[in-house]
A and B are shown apart, each in its own frame.
Chain A
Amino acid sequence: MPPMFGSALISGLVIGGFYSLVGAGLNLIFGVIKIINFAQGAMLTIGAYLTYWFVITTKLDPYLALPFVALVLAFFGFIIQKTLINRVLGQERTSQLLITFGIALAIQNTTLALWGPDIRSVNTFISDKTFEVSGIRVGATAAMALLGALIVLLGLFLFLSRTRMGTAIRAVAQQADSALLSGIDVKKVYAIAFAIGSGLVGVASVLIVPIYDVYPLVGEHFGIISFIVVVLGGLGNIQGAAIAGVFLGVIQNLFAVYVSDSLSTAILFFIFLITLLFRPQGIFVRKMRVS
């Protein structure tokens, strides 16, 4: 494998892993609760700042913040669903759309007020370590991100397909009324789904921080791309979202190296538009659908 192609592929896989995590979370929330969470990117920003705050306060390695950040974000998501979104579910579509948009704006402005617009960065014990795989240099933080995304997504599939709560989540996604009659507390399941979707973003943010700088809009890029991930993977299709995320990451990086760096993000939106026009149901497998 030519080294240039190899390293473009690796960084594509890494960024694709992030897209997959954030997109799978977004798709889970959409599939189960049928709302579009515009705050997905803003949640990533919170996660990044939490990680940064954890590191400067405890002087520990950022990776150790993973359980803390994932749990805090999951809890935050649970509360958002319980206190805000559950209240607008019976209302008009527009209030449902606008409420997560409002949450996103509130988060962005709060992080700006708390930490200012400065760009910050965080180092981990493996920040300067690299290793070689068949002639290609791979950064240890990149490998960690890829591995982390893979493990967490695999865990999500197993949870949804094998556990009692996972089955309940899929049942609610398919027919909420019938799920009620099965004895499932649907509103609680909504809150759990929102918590998991947010927890996935928490994992992504910890893995991202050693690679990207932290600033109030760090999550926005990933938040917007996650919509492309969802459209490509198919609405409510978690497995499709995971594959679509990696696909987009790889395309973006190969395009940057071989065609044009400045157009590499724009190409993703072209893919988005073409998919919407010609295959709005998504282009990846439809097996692991929650709805």
Chain B
Amino acid sequence: MANIEKKNILEVRDLVSGYGRIETLHGVSIDVPVGGITAIIGPNGSGKSSLLKSVSGLIRTWSGNVLLDGKEITNLAAHKLVSEGMTMVPQGRVVFPQLSVEENLTINAFTVKSKQVVRERLEEVYAFLPILSERRKQFAGNLSGGEQVMLSIAKVLMQKPKLLLLDEPSLGLSPKVVDFVYDRIQHLANNGVDVLVVEQNTKKALAIANHVVVLVLGDVRFEGTPDSLEKEIDLGTLFLEGRIAE
């Protein structure tokens, strides 16, 4: 009989982590279901970025477990996670400014040994975002802000990940570019890439997510669908006061 149990691409269990001696995550457990977009929202300083960094191996997990597709990946080095099928786009500048656009793309396929495969993925990316093909010889640092965002998304495509982690993709972008970025994220999700996105822009995140996690001061306050979130929690109060309205 077919397994009808809901599967998770990523499971985080009782994760404790932080910076230096300061604990920012106090035993966080979340599920990222297969198929679709999971959004983590919450006020500033609630540990959203720490969670992504800890999951992706950029900062150490003090205790707890992280499972990718059922496989234990707790504290696996960041560069090894790429071959496991998980990749993260960090906040802010994510391109190598003094590599050409094409070098920025091929370097993200660093774990792919076959030149033929790299070539094929490059062609796919250029078909998906033709502007990058025109700019392929230019330094990434000379692209416009919007083009750099396109390049960072394209870089991810070179890795063909199962799970994509995005840390505040809307940060510092004009509304038009944000719309474009979210359209591309939706497109990736429709094409079989599971997405975990951390967002300050709650409205935007809730619009595309089918699973939501609310993180407040290092603890999970809510996990479920966007619809049930709106019934259960007054987000305005939560974000203003950093706690759930009674």
Interface residues of A (CB under 8 A from B): 164, 167-168, 170-171, 174-175, 177-186, 289, 291
Contact = CB atoms under 8 A, between A and B. Distances in A.
A138 to B, nearest CB: 38
A175 B77 contact: no
A162 to B, nearest CB: 10
B99 A170 contact: yes
Interface stretch (B79-87, B201-209, B218-226): B79-87
A177 B90 contact: yes
Chain A binding site: helix, strand, loop or mixed by DSSP? helix
Nearest to B158: A182
B96 A184 contact: no
B75 interface: no
Contacts of B108: 182-183
Given A182-B108, A182-B110, A183-B79, A170 B58 contact: no
B94 interface: yes
Interface of B: 56-58, 77-79, 82-83, 87-90, 93-99, 103, 106-108, 110-111, 155, 159
A182 B94 CA distance: 10
A170 B98 CA distance: 8
A111 B151 CA distance: 52
The 7 A-B residue pairs with the shortest CB-CB distance, nearest first, are A183-B82, A183-B111, A180-B78, A183-B110, A174-B96, A182-B108, A171-B96
A291 B87 CA distance: 24
Contacts of B95: 178
Contact of B159 (A164, A175, A183, A186): A183
25 contacts: A164-B106, A167-B106, A167-B107, A168-B107, A170-B98, A171-B96, A171-B103, A175-B96, A177-B58, A178-B93, A178-B94, A178-B95, A179-B107, A180-B57, A180-B58, A181-B78, A181-B82, A181-B88, A181-B90, A182-B155, A183-B159, A185-B79, A186-B79, A289-B98, A291-B98
Contacts of B110: 164, 168, 182-184
B107 A174 contact: no
